[in-house]
Amino acid sequence: MPALKRRTLLLAALGGPLGGAVAAVDAQAAPLRLVVPFAPGGGVDAAARVLAGALAPRLGTPVLVENHPGASGTIGGRLVLGAAPDGRTLLFSAATHVFTRQVLARPPYDPQADFAPVARFGRTPLLLVVAPGRGERDLQQLLAAIRAEPGGWSAGVPAYGAPGHLAMLDLERRAGLKLNLVPYKGTQPALMDVAGGHADLLLDSLVALQPLARAGRVRALAISAADRSPLLPRVPTFAEAGLPAFVHHSWYGLWAPRDTPDERIEALAQAVAGAAAALKSRQALRPLGLEAAVLGSDEFRIFVANELAAGSELLRQSGFHAD
């Protein structure tokens, strides 16, 4: 299909301006808003911005990233929930959104019933980092030090229900640890506290943590992937560091308000897939530590259901109680 025709069909599905001659009036189309429910500088924010840059030319309309952090991601979620179901305002988030009902005592919405999954965009492994002043040089030294002082070590949690939170619960269970989990409004504030020595450790996305790790402002001890990252080739996997089968990823996806028409969801999903393919072909994701891992709406719904089941069991085993 010619590129102009394909873009025209996408604009039509998204409610773009289509005159009788289907003229190139892309600049007049209403912007697409990607609402990120976390502070700037985190993994979700970085993934949203790289996707926005690739989506805009495919849709022929500006794609704006807006940060609305707080309340475990529900401030941004409520904004999208109240938006018109026209495919112009989307939530760009991660597992945090999926686990809203599991981690909040009074959730403002049901993420499964009140939102329509659009697509999964990508994923990245998690990186374990510690404050640069800590004396522990590898994972086993760190685990031994934490066991020797139960509850005395603070671990930053970007948000309850976030991939880093669930992975930290899994680390506690597998390694026999007792940590003091401290919630933050996103990855960046938690990372800054670890870099400044105000928190002891953080387990979160490679996308967000690798710049400071490479700069030596935090010390990376392990990565939660099957293989090492070319961005940090000296950092071992958890398996290499003595904790087999510890594999976790942070994944990123898009949701629309519940009543968004199916054809608009499909058009958006196709645009995300095309943008991800373009980013992959020019290797624009590798410097971030991000991997294109696109799922369409139906596949994404099934994936989320499986993630929800596994994560809910981790929360149950940990004795987590919603605040």
Report all structural domains of the chain as residue ranges with CATH numbers, in order of start.
3-124+250-318 (3.40.190.150), 125-223 (3.40.190.10)
302 contact partners, CB below 8 Å, separation of at least 6: none
Q: Which residue did the predictor score with more confidence, 321 or 98? A: 98
Q: What is the CB neighbour count within 10 angstroms for residue 267?
A: 22
pLDDT-derived band at 5 (thresholds 50, 70, 90) equals very low
CB 172 within 8 A of CB 318: yes
pLDDT of residue 93: 96
pLDDT of residue 113: 96
Q: What is the DSSP letter of 205?
A: E
pLDDT-derived band at 245 (thresholds 50, 70, 90) equals very high
CB 275 within 8 A of CB 55: yes
Q: Give the β-pairing of 154-157 and 249-257.
A: unpaired
Angle between helices 43-59 and 262-281 (to 10 degrees): 100
Q: Indicate if the alpha-carbon torsion angle 163, 160, 67, 203 is positive or negative.
A: negative
Residue 151 carries which side chain, given as an amino acid letter? Answer: G
User: What's the mean per-residue pLDDT of the chain?
Assistant: 90
Question: In the structure encoding, which two tokens stand for residue 200, read together?
Answer: 């002891």
Residues 113-148 have pLDDT tens digits of: 999 999 999 999 999 999 988 999 999 999 999 999
pLDDT of residue 12: 45
Residues 53-95 have pLDDT tens digits of: 999 999 999 999 999 998 888 999 999 999 999 999 999 999 9
The residue behind tokens 């939102």 is 115
CB 27 within 8 A of CB 243: no
pLDDT of residue 224: 98
Residue 19 clears pLDDT 60, i.e. is over it: no
Helices (H), the chain: 3-13, 43-59, 74-81, 95-98, 100-103, 139-147, 163-175, 187-195, 206-214, 262-281, 297-318
